[in-house]
Amino acid sequence: MTRKLFLIGMAVVTAVLATYLLLNTLQTAVAAPTNTLVLYDGVLGGTPDTQNMAYGAIDLVFPFQVEATQTYSAAVQATILDTTPDIDDMAGYGVDPTTMPTLTRQNGFQLHFTMRVVEESHVSPHRAGINVTVISADLWGIELAFWQNEIWAQEGGDPPALFTHAEGAAFDTTADFVAYELEIIEDIYRLSADGVPILSGPLRDYTAWEPPLPQFPDPYEQPNLVALSDNTSSAQTLIWLRYVGVTPDTAPFVDIEPASLTVSETVGTAVLTAQLSYTSTFTVTVAYETVAGTAVPGIDYTPISGTLTFPPGVASQSLAIPILDNTLDEPDRDFTLTIADPTFARLGQSSATITIQDDDGPIVEPLVEVYLPLVMRP
């Protein structure tokens, strides 16, 4: 029952402290990528609760004495969180979700954290001393558990599978600081360590978990939630935490360019480009098709449709549309190329108008001269 009580406490603590913490620390935030919200930066000094995070600790076993500690170390420019003195202690950090950007799966978002697990022990194969929990705006998310030699996902769904050991990856979390990046997009997550992907899988629904008392808030039904914590009385840890930041809206836009194109009917092929706003580490796809306007398919152009694929690192793909020459004298004609249904990307400029200029003049009938005999009558 005590499995998730710490996260409940964090939901209450962050709501009370967040306004003070934000007002007290936003002026000292460091430079970051354009839309990254820095939640904690150890280079600035101080523990996370002196910046944009809240700290909480609880011991539910009599005499309810918390022995867990957090201390800042200038030597390693990080906060040392230690729950090893008492396995019953639960402690860690959360963020008031109302101060967070909207974490939309379709738009993609990333959690960045730099951490070293110095010690970790557990008495259950389904628990860990340090856990990273991220819940999106629509309540789908992932909780990752960190052992000394493995990182693994907590299962979602219904009991008894709920909060059991799911997919994992062997990884040494103790050797040194590791810059982790947890990327969530659509229905999957991917964890990278120092830029190398090490673990991925489906997002989970943890909303089947219920608080032990009805007056307690349910953190797994709190949108835009981020927490790093020892949230169990079945494990303990000592970690060094140096950095936490969150970046919303990480999926690239896909645009069709140019938005308008004029070609001669003798050009042979009209070429347009599907362009990503930046390269992705995922394989992006987008559907395309031509839509008739005043131009007639099969007479003025050959219609096309299909799916474009952008492998990781590729930012653009060309689309070639055959333009048909004919001898008809007609006004300029147009049709549209559209893109739709992107995966791992957001839709930007979704259509382009192609205008075909006629190069045929009016048909001139040949001149026929007719000679009539001249009849002379008296």
Percent of the chain with pLDDT over 90: 78
Co-location of 305 and 258 in the same domain: yes
Residue 15 has pLDDT above 60, yes or no: no
Evaluate whether 87 touches 66 at the Cβ level (below 8 Å). no
- In-domain check, residue 130: yes
Q: What is the domain-level CATH number for residue 19?
A: 2.60.120.200
372 DSSP 8-state letter: P
pLDDT of residue 99: 84
Which among 126, 131, 157, 155 has a CA at the least distance from the CA of 144? 131
pLDDT band at 20 (very low <50, low <70, confident <90, very high): very low
291: Cβ–Cβ under 8 A, 6 or more apart, which residues?
335, 336, 337, 338
- In-domain check, residue 367: no
134 forms bridges with which residues in the sheet?
Answer: 142, 226
- In-domain check, residue 372: no
pLDDT of residue 14: 37
Instruction: Read off the pTM.
Output: 0.83
- In-domain check, residue 15: yes
Residue 215 has pLDDT above 60, yes or no: yes
Co-location of 210 and 269 in the same domain: no
Neighbours of 286 (CB within 10 A): 23
Co-location of 222 and 138 in the same domain: yes
- In-domain check, residue 362: no
Co-location of 59 and 113 in the same domain: yes
Co-location of 46 and 82 in the same domain: yes
Evaluate whether 144 touches 288 at the Cβ level (below 8 Å). no
Mean pLDDT, to the nearest integer, of 365-374?
52
pLDDT of residue 106: 95
Residue 30 has pLDDT above 50, yes or no: no
SS3 assignment for 62-112: CCCCCCCEEEEECCCCEEEEECCCCCCEEEEEECCHHHCCCCCCCCCEEEE
79 forms bridges with which residues in the sheet?
Answer: 72, 241
Mean pLDDT, to the nearest integer, of 158-172?
97
Mean pLDDT, to the nearest integer, of 25-49?
71
Residue 3 has pLDDT above 90, yes or no: no
pLDDT of residue 148: 98
Tracing tokens 């969530």 back to the chain, one arrives at 184
- Exposed, middle or buried, 66 (CB in 10 Å: 0-12/13-18/19+)? middle
CA 210/CA 16 separation, integer angstroms: 23
Evaluate whether 101 touches 69 at the Cβ level (below 8 Å). no
- Exposed, middle or buried, 165 (CB in 10 Å: 0-12/13-18/19+)? middle
pLDDT band at 25 (very low <50, low <70, confident <90, very high): very low
The values of phi and psi at residue 224, to 5°, are 60, 45
Co-location of 331 and 229 in the same domain: no
Tokens standing for 226? Answer: 């981020």
Co-location of 174 and 92 in the same domain: yes
Co-location of 36 and 93 in the same domain: yes
- Measured CA to CA in angstroms, residue 34 lies from 31, 165, 185, 270 at distances of 9, 36, 19, 37
Q: Which domain holds residue 314?
A: 253-357
Residue 230 half-sphere exposure, CB side, CA atoms within 13 Å?
A: 32
Q: What is the domain-level CATH number for residue 264?
A: 2.60.40.2030
Tokens standing for 212? Answer: 């032990």
pLDDT of residue 22: 28
Type and span of the H or E element at 8:
helix 5-25
Co-location of 132 and 241 in the same domain: yes
What is the pLDDT of the chain when averaged over all its residues?
Answer: 88
Co-location of 269 and 301 in the same domain: yes
Residue 12 has pLDDT above 60, yes or no: no
- In-domain check, residue 365: no
Number of domains in the chain: 2
Mean pLDDT, to the nearest integer, of 231-237?
95
